[in-house]
Amino acid sequence: MSSADDQTTTSPELRADIRRLGDLLGETLVRQEGPELLDLVEKVRRLTREDGEAAADLLRGTELETAAKLVRAFSTYFHLANVTEQVHRGRELRAKRAAEGGLLARTADRLKDADPDHIRETVRNLNVRPVFTAHPTEAARRSVLNKLRRIAALLETPVIEADRRRYDTRLAENIDLVWQTDELRVVRPEPADEARNAIYYLDELHAGAVGDVLEDLTAELERVGVTVPAETRPLTFGTWIGATATATPTSPPR
């Protein structure tokens, strides 16, 4: 099961990884549901490209249980494709940073000749505030997110050809687990459910990205002669979850 020939996917390495995960997903469908589901998926995919009316007729005649599995198959494929694109985008950004320097470093270079007093006052009042919105229909369950994160970690790992079989086996195991995990909620999420989903991302941010960004910000400002005041909160997080706007302050490293 693979649509990696899409011309919008320009990187050969990215197309290869998406195709590999698509093929592994196809094997999962056969193991978990039987070859008939994979055949149906491939038929629907082909008809949607070649004959939309024939695809619509086929879907109208599909039993509800089979249609649900069909939707899950395509949903799982797009989850895997998105994870793969994120992994490759991260590699591209790291390579760009290695070649050109990070955004904070480049910004600090441009501030070298600026008025120091103005920079200090700006830094004192600096407050970047990303906001978590509440869109439960777009939020994957944490159990699914954790499994997709393991797949991303496997994609990130450099693999020599001798280890390829073992590497693909680990990917296949995790794709099986994704398929076995129901990503749909049977009841409408409550604000507490939405909050738990946001906490998943906050935990991940605080474990790595937030500290790295604040340390880099502090170091680059010190390079141009500016110290971040201890009482300054340059980064906070807001949320609309539960229809109440709140903010979580994040302090600079000390």
What's residue 254's pLDDT?
43
- Cα(108)–Cα(101) distance, integer angstroms: 11
What pTM does this model have? 0.75
Contact 234, 214 (CB under 8 A): yes
- Cα(20)–Cα(80) distance, integer angstroms: 10
**Residue 121 identity (one-letter amino acid):** E
What's residue 209's pLDDT?
86
Residue-level pLDDT, tens digit, the chain, 254 residues: 766 555 455 789 999 999 999 999 999 999 999 999 999 999 999 999 998 899 999 999 899 999 999 999 999 999 999 999 999 999 998 898 888 888 888 888 888 888 888 989 999 999 999 887 765 545 567 788 889 999 999 999 888 888 899 999 999 999 999 999 876 666 676 777 777 777 877 887 887 888 899 999 999 999 888 898 888 899 888 888 765 445 555 555 44
Contact 81, 18 (CB under 8 A): yes
**Residue 169's CB: how many other CB atoms inside 10 A?**
11
- Cα(240)–Cα(253) distance, integer angstroms: 27
User: DSSP character for 235?
Assistant: E
